[in-house]
Amino acid sequence: MKKKSKKRKRFIIITSIFLIGTVIMAQTPNIDENFRDANKIIGTWVSKAKDSRMEIYQSGNAYKGRLIEGWGLELYEEDGVTLKKDSKNPDESLRDRTLKNMEFISEMTFEKGAYKGGEIYMAKLGKSMKCKMYFKGEELRVRIYAGIPILGITKKWTRVQ
C-alpha cells in the first residue's frame, strides 16, 4: 500500500513539474536577441483592442510612452468636453492631472532585443505594473505583469505612424 502511495506522489510531482514548465515555456516570449534597432519602437501605436493609442518616444537613454487617445479609458467626462483626471492615483497630488497626454510608460531601456526595466501605469487601477516590450514581426508585444512575467498579460500593438 505504501509503495503505491509513493509512486502516486512521485507521479503527481513529476506531472506538476512538467505542466508548470510547459506553462512557463508558453509564456516566455520568443525575443530575437540579435534585433538591434532600438529606435524602431519610436512612433504612434494602437492596441489590438483599439482601447488606447500611445506615442512612444526616446528620452535620454530610456523610452517612454504617453497616451494620446484612449477609447477604453473614456478620456472625457459625460459632457464630452472635460478631460478625465487621474482620480485613482494613490498620490493625491497627482489626481488633478488629465489622462490625455499623460506618461503611461516609463523608463524602458533596450537590452538584448527587448525593452525592459520600465513600468506601465494602469489608470483604471491607479497603480503601475512592470512592463516588457518586444517585437514579433512588425507587431509590438507589451507584456504587463506583477512580480514575474508569467503572472501577466500580453497586449499586441500595431504602428499607426
Q: What is the pLDDT of residues 10-53, one digit of tens each?
A: 777 777 666 555 554 444 456 666 667 899 999 999 988 887 89
pLDDT (mean) for 99-105:
94
Percent of the chain with pLDDT over 70: 83
The pLDDT of residue 69: 84
Judge whether 42 and 58 are in contact, CB under 8 Å.
yes
> What are 66's strand-pairing partners?
55, 103
Distance, in Å, from the CA atom of 145 to the CA atom of 128, rounded to the nearest integer, reads 10
Look up residue 20 and give its amino acid. I
The pLDDT of residue 37: 86
Name the phi and psi angles at 86, rounded to 5.
-80, 60
Q: Is 65 helix (H, G, I), strand (E, B) or coil?
A: strand
Whether the per-residue pLDDT at 1 is higher than 60: the answer is no
The pLDDT of residue 18: 60
- pLDDT tens readout for residues 107-116: 999 998 999 9
Burial of 105 (0-12, 13-18, 19+ CB in 10 A): buried
With cell 500580453, the residue in question is 154
